[in-house]
Amino acid sequence: MNCNVPTDICFSFEGFCARGGKTDDHKDGWGIAFFEGKGCRIFLDAKSSVASPIAELVRSYPIHSTHVIAHIRKATQGEINLENCHPFRRELWGRYWVFAHNGDLPGFEVNSSSFYIAVGNTDSEKAFCLILETLRKAFPEGRPPIEKLYSVLEDITLNIAKKGIFNYLLSDGDYFFAHCSTKLCYIVRQAPFAGAHLIDEDITVDFNELTTPDDRVAVIATTPLTDNEVWTQIQPGQLLAFRDGNPYIISK
Amino acid sequence: MNCNVPTDICFSFEGFCARGGKTDDHKDGWGIAFFEGKGCRIFLDAKSSVASPIAELVRSYPIHSTHVIAHIRKATQGEINLENCHPFRRELWGRYWVFAHNGDLPGFEVNSSSFYIAVGNTDSEKAFCLILETLRKAFPEGRPPIEKLYSVLEDITLNIAKKGIFNYLLSDGDYFFAHCSTKLCYIVRQAPFAGAHLIDEDITVDFNELTTPDDRVAVIATTPLTDNEVWTQIQPGQLLAFRDGNPYIISK
């Protein structure tokens, strides 16, 4: 989720969570990262999201954030344990970077002399380490303007994506990127707000009651979370940036 | 807390939490890190621990871990916000390192060309970054045996401690270090177990009912958490290592 004002993710998380063992089989752990300014909190659990007391807390306690990345895991590479739960986090240029991957990179290997070393043994964390390493080397002086960063990020993303399926979300609490390799879609909610009904749970929310006219919220997900709204498919190979709830492509 | 078998920290956390706004004035945020193998989860909140729904979860949901680091903050340097909450975490040598500091380093400044850059603006996070930077440079090939690491860690610790008050806990989920600059004490609980009564809350626990004869648990805290047990003061200037609930000094 990316938005222009801090928003809670309780509604979307309710449907998302159901896919972690109830309406879908991504039950090998889950995690969610909330940025608050430069700060970031991550809740992780190797349990399925439908059975996790920590997920219950996140469902019921509204944390307001403009940049949220959540993940439910279906293990392809790496055991079911805490260190293999997404999202992963590292620091670069004095900011936390958070990453979650949906896919599988069977042919992917990295040079072990990388500055960032994976703690777990997923392809996902290794890919994240390579992305940060590449950005760090390209911009040793600090974080560049988004156009320059986008260009390097797109190149390394395309390279990694050759090794398999590489849908991901990446953010430092300011920039927010979504890469579609096979399957990723989004919706932008803004005035006039309407009601939304979840696919995975029989829950409806009237956003009109919860928002102000200036609010704008983008929700990005592998597949649509609601069945009465129009979601936009991101094209395979596309790397979108989001800002203030708006998606855009940066031309090189 | 450091122990030989995964143990929940609910009892100690209850008393500890009370100091975050009830029995003491460390109310400017709090945090707790639990290692599970190489994985690590951190709960953070910029609210006081007595008023935090997340602290309520940690109090009531027993997470079992052998390495736990918790902190309640009384802001000396840096605003009250999420990025300034301890414990801090960074990756080094493919492991997460977690750090919490009690003290104040008014004269402390670091070279901004450090590999690790503080996200927030506390003296504590800057000191942590310098420690990891120093270890990384001393052992570029990977994590050394604890004796070698201890020696470098002790040197940089003594250097930083010259700038003020530097009581800290540091762990990678395997090694566990406690440095006393002015005030730090510990207790080792092992068979025969007895009852313990908190200082900050009128709560008693009978560890005999909750443990097996082989369990050993060390709890390290700024001041004793219980009033019917004998806590050992760590000497100012001492850097202790803990393993399996046992404290020891490593001779160079």
Least confident segment among A13-27, A83-97, A132-146, B68-82: A13-27
| Best residue of B28, B36, B41 to probe chain A, by most A CBs closer than 10 Å | B41
Identify which of A38, A61, A116 has the shortest CB distance to residue B91: A116
Tell me the nearest-neighbour CA distance from A152 into chain B, angstroms: 21
Q: Judge: A91–B37 Cβ closer than 8 Å, yes or no.
A: no
Residue that wins the pLDDT comparison between B93 and A251: B93
Q: What chain A residue is nearest to B55 in terms of C-alpha separation?
A: A57
Q: Strand pairing partners for A243?
A: A246
Report the distance separating Cα B27 and Cα B179, nearest Å.
23
pLDDT above 90 covers a percentage of chain B that reads 71
pLDDT of residue B25: 84
* ipTM surpassing 0.90: yes
Contact by Cβ (8 Å): B41, B33: yes
Report the distance separating Cα A12 and Cα A50, nearest Å.
14
Contact by Cβ (8 Å): A16, A1: no
Q: Which residues on A lie below 8 Å from B118 (Cβ)? A: 94
pLDDT digits (tens, 9 = 90+) for A189-236: 999 999 999 998 889 999 888 889 999 999 999 999 999 999 999 999
Q: What SS3 state is found at B181? A: coil
Tell me the nearest-neighbour CA distance from B44 into chain A, angstroms: 6
Q: Which residues on B lie below 8 Å from A57 (Cβ)? A: 53-54, 57
Query: Two tokens at A102?
Result: 């949906």
| Best residue of A119, A122, A137 to probe chain B, by most B CBs closer than 10 Å | A119
Rounded to a whole number of angstroms, the distance between the first and last alpha carbons of chain B is 25
Q: Which residues on B lie below 8 Å from A43 (Cβ)? A: 41, 43
Query: Two tokens at B51?
Result: 């008023």
Identify which of A54, A90, A118 has the shortest CB distance to residue B57: A54
Q: What chain A residue is nearest to B61 in terms of C-alpha separation?
A: A53
What architecture (CATH level 2) is domain B2-248? 4-Layer Sandwich (3.60)
Identify which of B38, B39, B81 has the shortest CB distance to residue A39: B81
Where do the domains of chain A lie? 2-248
In the structure, what pLDDT confidence band is assigned to residue B107 with cuts at 50, 70 and 90? confident
pLDDT of residue A24: 84
Identify which of A37, A61, A119 has the shortest CB distance to residue B53: A61
Q: Order the strands of the B185-190 sheet from edge to edge.
A: B39-45, B30-36, B64-72, B2-8, B216-221, B185-190, B232-233
Q: A83: buried, middle or exposed (CB in 10 Å: 19+, 13-18, 0-12)? A: buried
Q: Which residues on B lie below 8 Å from A119 (Cβ)? A: 38-39, 91, 94-96
Report the distance separating Cα B33 and Cα B171, nearest Å.
10
Q: Which residues on B lie below 8 Å from A46 (Cβ)? A: 36, 39
pLDDT digits (tens, 9 = 90+) for B139-183: 999 999 999 999 999 999 999 999 999 999 999 999 999 999 999
Residue that wins the pLDDT comparison between B32 and A22: B32
Q: Judge: B39–A115 Cβ closer than 8 Å, yes or no.
A: no
In the structure, what pLDDT confidence band is assigned to residue B127 with cuts at 50, 70 and 90? very high
Query: Two tokens at A226?
Result: 């609601």
The mean per-residue pLDDT over the stretch A18-46 comes to 90
One-letter amino acid of A92 = L
Q: Judge: A119–B41 Cβ closer than 8 Å, yes or no.
A: no
Tell how far CA A179 is from the center of its chain: 10
Q: A6: buried, middle or exposed (CB in 10 Å: 19+, 13-18, 0-12)? A: middle
Backbone angles phi, psi at B54, to 5 degrees: -75, -40
Closest CA to B77 of B125, B22, B9: B125
Tell how far CA A226 is from the center of its chain: 18
3-state SS record for chain A = CEEEEEEECHHHHHHHHHCECCCCECCCCEEEEEEECCEEEEEEECCCHHHCHHHHHHHHCCCEEEEEEEEECCCCCCCCCHHHCCCEEEEECCEEEEEEEEEECCCCCCCCCCCCCCCCCCHHHHHHHHHHHHHHHHCCCCCCCHHHHHHHHHHHHHHHHCCCEEEEEEECCCCEEEECCCCCEEEEEECCCCEEEECCCCCEEEHHHHCCCCCEEEEEECCCCECCCCCEECCCCCEEEEECCEEECCCC
Report the distance separating Cα B172 and Cα B4, nearest Å.
15
Least confident segment among B76-85, B103-112, B184-193: B103-112
Identify which of A36, A44, A117 has the shortest CB distance to residue B41: A44
| Integer Rg of chain A from CA | 17
Q: Judge: B38–A83 Cβ closer than 8 Å, yes or no.
A: yes
Contact by Cβ (8 Å): B110, B59: no
Write out the residues of chain B at the interface with chain A, using a CB-CB cutoff of 8 A.
36-46, 53-54, 57, 61, 81-85, 89-91, 93-96, 115-120
| Best residue of B34, B45, B57 to probe chain A, by most A CBs closer than 10 Å | B57
Tell me the nearest-neighbour CA distance from A154 into chain B, angstroms: 24
Report the distance separating Cα A187 and Cα B218, nearest Å.
51
